Chain A
Amino acid sequence: ILNVEQSPQSLHVQEGDSTNFTCSFPSSNFYALHWYRWETAKSPEALFVMTLNGDEKKKGRISATLNTKEGYSYLYIKGSQPEDSATYLCASPGGADGLTFGKGTHLIIQP
């Protein structure tokens, strides 16, 4: 059974501050690492799909890094804004096609 873990479980950040959180996954049989943002009452939105060790991807103020050898990925948000408030999920397919998700990091940006 693939075990994907995220920390912290929740996070309060002041508007304008930068923040980051972690996703850890088994380093053996790695296929890909997905990051999603899920706002309340909306559809989960894909942020990144990462496949290569050392990969670094960026979308606006959000970026992510990947270390497949040690089994972790970091998600960074620079200059947090209230609209960044959401649950951030990471997931990995392992050897299967369905994704195994972590429990998510619930991010609240305080004005």
Chain B
Amino acid sequence: GVSQNPRHKITKRGQNVTFRCDPISEHNRLYWYRQTLGQGPEFLIYFQGTGAADDSGLPNDRFFAVRPEGSVSTLKIQRTERGDSAVYLCASSPQRNNEQFFGPGTRLTVL
């Protein structure tokens, strides 16, 4: 399945954080979402292979994601703010309109 690390991250406001996603190996498509309390998951960015095909969901330039070899992806948040506290979910899929396979998420708490 899809794995994510770390599962939990507590950080102080202003610090940088990095999250890792290991998708299902044969899946070309990789997605990042975040879920805040009381809301459904919100789309952040989508990769097809190594390239970011759609990054329209990234809230601002403090958020950055890469997938340099077309497999593992990392999501980085610089200068974290309290409003960044959320569960960050990664998913992968073989094709469009196929089900997306989700990891367990990384819960970020910004103090």
Are the chains A and B members of one assembly? yes
> What chain B residues lie within 8 Å of A36 (beta carbons)?
102
* Cβ distance A22 to chain B, nearest Cβ, rounded Å: 14
Cα of A4 to Cα of B39 in the assembled complex, Å = 12
With A43-B2, A49-B97, A96-B56 known to touch, is A89 a contact of B31 (CB < 8 Å)?
no
Q: Is the interface of A mostly helix, strand, loop or mixed?
A: loop
* Contact indicator A97/B96 (Cβ below 8 Å): yes
Closest to B104 in A: A43
Cα of A99 to Cα of B31 in the assembled complex, Å = 9
- Answer yes or no: A18 CB below 8 A from chain B CBs: no
* Contact indicator A41/B40 (Cβ below 8 Å): no
| Contact size range, B | 20 to 34
6 residue pairs bridging A and B, Cβ less than 8 Å apart: A32-B97, A46-B101, A49-B98, A91-B40, A96-B43, A103-B39
> What chain B residues lie within 8 Å of A32 (beta carbons)?
97
Cα of A4 to Cα of B40 in the assembled complex, Å = 10
* Cβ distance A26 to chain B, nearest Cβ, rounded Å: 16
- Answer yes or no: A100 CB below 8 A from chain B CBs: yes
* Contact indicator A96/B38 (Cβ below 8 Å): no
Cα of A42 to Cα of B105 in the assembled complex, Å = 8
Contact indicator per residue, chain B 41-75, by CB within 8 Å of chain A (1) or not (0):
11111101000011011000000000000000000
> What chain B residues lie within 8 Å of A103 (beta carbons)?
38-40
Q: List 5 other contacts, CB 8 Å, given A46-B99, A89-B40, A98-B44.
A: A91-B40, A97-B48, A97-B53, A98-B33, A101-B41
Which of B1, B38, B43, B101 has its CB near the most chain A CB atoms (within 10 A)?
Answer: B43
With A43-B2, A46-B99, A51-B97 known to touch, is A104 a contact of B40 (CB < 8 Å)?
yes
* Contact indicator B41/A97 (Cβ below 8 Å): no
* Contact indicator A99/B104 (Cβ below 8 Å): no
* Contact indicator B40/A93 (Cβ below 8 Å): no
Cα of A89 to Cα of B33 in the assembled complex, Å = 14
> What chain B residues lie within 8 Å of A99 (beta carbons)?
31, 33, 41, 43, 100
* Contact indicator B104/A49 (Cβ below 8 Å): no
* Cβ distance A82 to chain B, nearest Cβ, rounded Å: 21
